[in-house]
Amino acid sequence: MNENLHQLRCFGCGSRIPGAEARPDFRCANCGDLFEVEYPGWNQRGGNDRPNPGALKWLWRERRCSGEALDQSGVWRFRELLPIMESFGNAVSLREGNAPLYHLTRAAKALGIDQLYAKHQGVNPTGSFKDTGMTTALSVARERGFTWVACASTGNTSASMAAYAARAGMRSLVLIPEGKIAWGKLSQAMDYGAVTCQVKADFDGCLRLLTEIVRKAPIYLLNSVNPYRLEGQKTPAFEIAEAMDWNVPDHLIVPGGNLGNSSALGKGFREMRELGLTARLPKISVIQAAGANPLVKSLKLTHGAVLEPMEANTRATAIRIGNPASWRKSARVIQESGGWCLDVTEAEIAIAKAEIGAEGLGCEPASAVTLAGLKKLRAQGVIRSGETVVLVLTGHTLKDADYTIDFHRGTLLTDEEKLGSEAAIEALRRDAITVDATPAAVLAAIEGEAIGGQSG
């Protein structure tokens, strides 16, 4: 690690330590809070280490035409803002990042917001945004000589970690809540060769258990309590600003689970503004599932002073988390940027997911909370029609095919959950039809279907 350029600052008490002195659980020895990576050289205006914004913009654009593996990574392309390694030659990359920013044409029309975009991180090598942070944190683990890495996961972190560990020739240990993750994600961890333990506990219990394990054995912890994960996960903020010619959207909407991603994106936007790459922050809003909404409650009841852990329950299993590790960081991002934190129901998530599918993009259930949340913010009148909005879609639609099939078969939601939304759900359902092997039978199946997929 490059100890000269970065240090770790405790988010709670502000104490600073060299990166190599972090405890295995990445908690502050004084107050138990989490650390953030800090680059002291950036603070001195006119100092030698302070990057020049104009030069960086030019360099990062040039690298898009480069044949070098590191330049082709949408994370390491921005490596001037990631000076966490002794040598970038130690980086383990799968060409992550470079996720497209799509215009959501139909949702834009329906909501009366012309400039509505989706940053689709589901196109990453293992199908989720986790790859952008895994490349940085696992690279640090390799440089520091670890042979084992581990995480507790609702599925995507484990899939990502297992892949990057395999590429680096390292071993990986996965703790997942038994029966509570999507099969596609479990299959990825197996495929990439992780030691996968299905634990009789929820995600929060898995993370607690792993925290004890890393104190006993030389295993490097790769959950988002690891501040180097968040360094990689801040880079989509750079991509979004670059795609908008170094302007920022008025609103960024992010799903909230363990709350690392919203923290990381907030840090990315904050650093860009501090370095003069951009002029302002977007309003960053975090959306949780109604059954897993501890941050919503914390902000509502205590203005983010206290978070009461809860037993979480939602079919969006990726965000089924009741005691999120990075809640303080995320609360600060929301408050500092002027965003909102709200929750959405199971029916609202299912409808939004089907609508994103109908745009030809698709995403996993946890990602769809962003569109569901946007609809609420729009209805409350806090997002206006002329504003620019970016939804962060965190995972690929194939991650949880069971959820999609159950929705279209009509077996996903209970009658109680559907109450009041029956018509919206029926309009979106596209169940597979069994037909005889004759042209007449197949043609009968499309009879009455108007062009554009709307039933006539």
Complex with ligand F0G: residue 253 or 347, whichever CB lies closer: 253
Cβ atoms within 10 Å of 278's Cβ, excluding its own: 23
Task: Return the residue of 19, 249, 255, 266 that touches ligand F0G, per CB under 6 A.
Answer: 255
Among 370, 394, 397, 404, binds ligand F0G (CB under 6 A): 394
CB of 48 to ligand F0G, least distance (A): 34
C-alpha 252/C-alpha 260 separation (Å) is: 15
Strand order in the sheet with 195-199: 195-199, 171-177, 148-152, 219-221
Interacting stretch for ligand F0G, rule CB under 6 A, among 52-60, 106-114, 153-161, 271-279?
153-161
Q: Does 395 bind ligand F0G (CB under 6 A)?
A: yes
Out of 139, 156, 323, 345, name the contact with ligand F0G by CB under 6 A: 156
* Residue 259 near ligand F0G by CB under 6 A: yes
Provide the minimum distance between the beta carbon of 50 and ligand F0G in the complex, in angstroms, as a whole number. 29
- The closest alpha carbon to 287, from 353, 227, 233, 241, belongs to 353
CB of 291 to ligand F0G, least distance (A): 15
Q: Where are the alpha helices (DSSP H) in 47-104?
A: 53-63, 69-72
Half-sphere exposure (Cβ direction) of 182: Cα atoms closer than 13 Å = 28
Q: Calculate the alpha carbon distances from 175 to 17, 201, 325 in Å.
A: 29, 10, 16
Give the contact letters, 321-360, x = binds to ligand F0G (CB under 6 A), - = no: ----------------------------------------
Number of residues that bind ligand F0G (CB under 6 A): 22
Q: Residue 155, interface with ligand F0G (CB under 6 A)? A: yes
**What H or E segment, with its residue span, contains residue 183?**
helix 183-191
* Using rule CB under 6 A, residue 298 touches ligand F0G: no
Residue 455 DSSP code: B
Instruction: Tell me the closest approach of the beta carbon of residue 436 to ligand F0G, in angstroms.
Output: 40
Note whether 404 binds ligand F0G by CB under 6 A.
no
Distance CA 59, CA 238 (A): 13
What x/- string results for residues 77 through 106 when contact with ligand F0G is judged by CB under 6 A?
------------------------------
DSSP bridge pairs for 175: 152, 197
Phi-psi region of 304 (alpha: psi -120 to 50; beta: other; left: phi over 0): left
Q: State the burial class of residue 79 (Cβ atoms within 10 Å of its Cβ: 0-12, 13-18, 19+).
A: buried
Interface with ligand F0G (CB under 6 A) = 128, 130, 153-157, 224, 255-261, 318-319, 364, 366-367, 394-395
